[in-house]
Amino acid sequence: MFKNMFKTSIAIISILILISTIYSATIITLDYFDGNNTKPVEPRGDLGMRGFHEPSPEIRKSELELEKKIIQKDIKKQISKIDSMIENIENNNYESLKKELELQRIDLENDQELDIQRIELEILRMSSEFMKD
């Protein structure tokens, strides 16, 4: 008798869990694939939808600004080293080496500009996303 009641209660609990799972999956699916989502998005505290995985836009913007400054300093150091090498070579007339170093300098300047533009675009993207929220 006790075994039958136990089996019955387990079966009922299993069916209830199955029904609640199907119900919640249906609700989530309808909410996710709702084409005309007219409900306003409610802010969910300080973390919002990001949770703990993605930093806030302000923090990410600060990180990108710092990265931009570090890249600029690094490139300027490399350029100054190349400039000093070019001066030394000019005194000894090593034309081919001079041209090669000048090309490296130009490449570094171009890389610097590209990195700066990439960071600025990332900042703009983040600012526009922040304004949407």
Would you give the end-to-end CA distance of the chain in angstroms? 60
Main-chain phi, psi angles of 43, to 5 degrees: -70, 140
pLDDT recorded at residue 3: 74
Count of Cβ atoms closer than 10 Å to residue 128 Cβ: 10
In contact, 109 and 79? CB cutoff 8 Å: yes
- Which residues, given as ranges, of the chain have pLDDT below 50? 43, 45-47, 50
pLDDT recorded at residue 39: 54
pLDDT recorded at residue 105: 85
Global pTM? 0.36
